[in-house]
Structure 1
Amino acid sequence: MNNRRSPFDLNGKTALITGGSRGLGLQMAEALGSHGARILLSARRSEELRSAQAQLASQGIDADWIAADASRENDIVELAEQAISKFGHVDILINNAGASWGAAAEDYPITAWDKVFNLNIRGPFLLTQLIGKHSMIPNRYGRVVNIASTAGLQGTSRDVLQAIGYSSSKGALVNFTRALAAEWGHYGITVNALAPGFFPSKLTHGLIDSVGSDRMAALSPLNRLGDDEDLKGAVLLFASDASKHITGQVLAVDGGATIV
């Protein structure tokens, strides 16, 4: 009888997922929960979190939630404190909450720039700092997965996407991933990033509707948009011990769009 533990087994691990009440966040919660992780969801709206918790419970996944605005420092501090108090430790942190704002660079409002950067890079830094300092570093173990974007890896044609604040913030998140991986590796903490391409979501539905789903799909060699399953394997890799020798890496999940 083979009792060897699978490297993808997350039993005994706690995963905190921001922006976890719907879309890609909930998709990733399903992936980690189905492999044994206790799930702690966070987002702004309690009613959406309750619905997400019920959806996970229907799949036999142990999930709880804390409402918090990931762009507000006080909320982030309280989220980190409550998460560690409730579960004792946070082993996996998925920085998924994000925002975008569409406008031409020459007319981009500074208020929009600040809003996008507060949520997309300042928030992940603050939360990761707190979870790292008070849970992962003392326990000499952690998996940080930052949800970047292919928009942070390359420029985008102005007739497809004009969102310089979003692209810049995701580029910052990419190098935040690399810098933190270099600094925290000796604590036994890995830090990696996923860079999704175009997935139907609340964040992208307006863009996909205006450009057209067929045209968006044609931008990738696989000629398709991401679906509800396409982040699951990738996030499971980075969140589990299957990636114990992988850190500071950025994996594009985009149907190959960034290679053409």
Structure 2
Amino acid sequence: MTAGRFEDLFSVAGRSVVVTGGSSGIGAMVATGLVAAGARVLISARKVDALAGLAEQLGGRGVCDYVVADVGTPEGSAAIAAAVAATFDGRLDILVNNAGATWGAPIDDFPDDAWVKLANVNLIGMFRLTTTLLDPLRRGAEPGSPARIVNIGSLAGLRVTDVENYPYSATKAGVHMLTRHLAGRLAREHITVNAIAPGYFPSRMSAFALGDDSARSELLSRVPLGRTGTPADIVGAVRFLASRAGAYLTGSVLEVDGGAASAT
């Protein structure tokens, strides 16, 4: 590798990217960071107002389009595939499967509906969208420059937390195993599949734990680095996996949690 190529190790400039759940939270952080790095980004989510607002904001800094889609349904996957065909001429370099849902309730009252919803969004929908976009990813894949799939798992899929979110932790653990399974199958097609297991990042999903000062202090006392994650932390991890720097990784689950998964 020449010195010039070392300088481009983490570049995603010009790459076509889909980020699901891209209108808020970690998805918005990732989309913002990739647009700033010169990628062409298509974000999806269920609510048009949030999507359109962020796409307009990011469009002033680079290239960002959006599609309204619920990845928990076959129609949502089809809508994203149609948008990829129209926006990127049917070639996709990077898929960030970030869309997810959570649900907390006491164990004695946990509803079946929660299991159905979270399985559809967090696990079944992720698999369905991935397979729906395989042809565009195959067009973006080359032996020396694989197409990338980055699945967003969770700390909750690695260790038990105090939150009674049973289907969330179970489906996120499933995301990690699905990542490994897909990695083994798609490596022969020059498509890498890795996951990121974020710890505590400020978002709508984590507001219940971070919004109260005492709860926040208690939570952060279990994080060795003593803080929540920042946009730079998650964007850096995604850029690593999506760039030349991460081209030789597949089937990995990268813990981006301040050491929380390893804490005793």
Give the TM-score band, short-chain normalised. Answer: over 0.9
Say yes or no: does 1:26 pair with 2:28: yes
Aligned to 2:241: 238
Aligned to 2:156: 151
Aligned to 1:61: 62
Of 161-170 and 78-87, the range deviating more from structure 2 = 78-87
Q: For 2:155 and 2:108, locate their aligned partners in 1 and report how far apart those are by CA, in whole Å.
A: 22
Q: For 1:87 and 1:136, locate their aligned partners in 2 and report how far apart those are by CA, in whole Å.
A: 11
Percentage identity across paired residues of the two chains: 37
Q: For 2:140 and 2:261, locate their aligned partners in 1 and report how far apart those are by CA, in whole Å.
A: 37
Aligned to 2:194: 192
Q: Give matches, 1:79-158, under 5 Å.
A: 79-88=80-89, 89-132=91-134, 134-140=135-141, 141-157=146-162
Aligned to 1:176: 178
Q: How big is the shift at 1:3? A: 4.9
Q: How big is the shift at 1:138? A: 4.0
Q: Alignment RMSD, CA only? A: 1.7
Aligned to 2:224: 221
Q: For 2:4 and 2:195, locate their aligned partners in 1 and report how far apart those are by CA, in whole Å.
A: 31
TM-score by length of structure 2 reads: 0.91
TM-score by length of structure 1 reads: 0.93
Q: For 2:160 and 2:237, locate their aligned partners in 1 and report how far apart those are by CA, in whole Å.
A: 24
Say yes or no: does 1:47 pair with 2:49: yes
Unmatched runs of 5 consecutive residues or more in structure 2: none
Q: How big is the shift at 1:104? A: 2.7
**Residue type of the alignment partner of 2:149:** V
Q: Secondary structure at the match of 2:231?
A: coil
* 1:216–1:225 CA contact under 8 A, matched in 2: no
**What is the aligned length?**
255
* 2:197–2:255 CA contact under 8 A, matched in 1: yes
* 1:8–1:242 CA contact under 8 A, matched in 2: yes
* 1:69–1:75 CA contact under 8 A, matched in 2: yes
Unmatched runs of 5 consecutive residues or more in structure 1: none
* 2:100–2:118 CA contact under 8 A, matched in 1: yes
Q: How big is the shift at 1:250? A: 0.5
Deviations 1:69-96 (A, max 9, x none): 1111112112112212321211100001
* 1:142–1:190 CA contact under 8 A, matched in 2: yes
Deviations 1:191-221 (A, max 9, x none): 0001111111111102333562111111111
Of 207-216 and 142-151, the range deviating more from structure 2 = 207-216
Q: For 2:98 and 2:165, locate their aligned partners in 1 and report how far apart those are by CA, in whole Å.
A: 18
